[in-house]
Amino acid sequence: MKPSPFEYHAPRSLDEALGVLAEEAGAKVLAGGQSLIPLLNMRLAAPAHLVDINRVAELDTIEVSERGVLVGALARHTVVERAADAARVQPLLREAIRHVAHPVIRNRGTVVGSLAHADPAAELPAVLAVLGGEVEAASARGRRTIAAGEFFLGPLESALDPDELAIAAFFPAAPPRTGTAFLETARRHGDYALAGVAALVTLDEDLRVSGARAGYLGVGAVPLVIDLAEPAAAAQAGRPPGTLDWSAAAAFARERVDPESDIHADASYRRHLVGVLTERAMGAATAAAFEGVR
């Protein structure tokens, strides 16, 4: 199929792009196009104006500091995946990107575009949510920062206003003595996950778990974050450091998700996957945390 007719805009500066968005109601932004182009071709989206931001060089950036990783709107998945300094500061970002579709998709798709698409089955929204990250939005009216907990409103629905452009996303750095892990289950490699989990475990100076949380994809209308500190405390009571039993955390998570059934999997199976993936991911994140302090 072919898309409905639209007027094509190719701005060369951010101000020019924001000007088009301000003037043309309902305009869509094209960056990587890995989600938008199929929607256009199937006529599930039919904007009158398409704003191609690929010539706005100032958005093609990755800034790494001890605070975290700031990813510009044109940074491709592959570039972020291969950025060693970004993986050092926040390893969960690389771990999750490796599960995004296939290399040919990651070569064109953008990290910020995935967030703006707001698909609850996608990997990066769950990562941003569990890390407590932020999205920076800009319009002709000015700029604002939107916390991850407020950014995702529903399936394919974000808090961006029609005239706003997501220009960057900030992924906070992992605290000291923190391990991360990302696991998902899909019918085939590269398919959308039936369920997935992004896990973080932080140890205190005595190598006891001081923080544990997980972000889930594929089991709700938006990414779901569950604090697992309570079951983690119970899991390590009376046990030597590093010998946690995460089965209680798995049960804790299963009770707090409310997935829906669809043609790919029913709700009970997705809930089962949440438990299995939680136990495995928290165990892997714990092992990574101990490895980091050796």
Please give the Cα distance from 36 to 158 (Å, whole number): 15
Q: Among positive and negative, which fits the CA dihedral 217, 223, 228, 231?
A: negative
Tokens of 87: 């993986």
CATH topology of domain 178-292: Enolase-like; domain 1 (3.30.390)
Query: Which SS3 state, helix, strand or coil, does residue 89 take?
Result: helix
**Least reliable range by pLDDT among 34-38, 107-111, 193-197:** 34-38
Question: How far is it, in rounded angstroms, from Cα 5 to Cα 34?
Answer: 19
Cα distance between residue 200 and residue 175, in whole Å: 10
Sheet containing strand 195-203, strands side by side: 178-185, 195-203, 209-217, 224-227
Topology, domain 57-172: 3.30.465
Q: Which residues pair with 45 in a beta bridge?
A: none
Paired strand residues for 286: none
Q: How confident is the model at residue 1 (pLDDT cuts 50, 70, 90)?
A: low
3-class secondary-structure state, position 150: helix
Q: Provide the residue ranges of all domains of the chain, joining segments of one domain with +.
A: 7-52, 57-172, 178-292
139 and 21 Cβ atoms separated by less than 8 Å: yes
Convert the pLDDT of each residue in 238-261 to its tens digit.
677 667 889 999 999 999 999 999
Q: How confident is the model at residue 121 (pLDDT cuts 50, 70, 90)?
A: very high
Put the strands of the sheet holding 142-147 in their side by side order.
62-65, 68-72, 165-172, 134-139, 142-147
Instruction: Calculate mean pLDDT across residues 12-18.
Output: 98
Amino acid, res. 266: D
Q: What is the mean pLDDT of residues 67-92?
A: 98
| CATH of the domain spanning 7-52, picked from 3.30.40.230, 1.10.10.10, 3.30.70.520, 3.30.43.10 | 3.30.43.10
Q: Note the pLDDT tens digit of each residue in 129-175.
A: 999 999 999 999 999 999 999 999 999 999 999 999 999 999 999 99
Among residues 20, 24, 14, 21, the alpha carbon closest in space to that of 55 is found at: 14
Q: What is the pTM of this model?
A: 0.96
What pLDDT shows up at residue 129? 98
Q: Average the pLDDT over 12-33 and give the result.
A: 96
Query: How far, rounded to the nearest angstrom, does the alpha carbon of residue 216 sit from its chain's CA centroid?
Result: 10
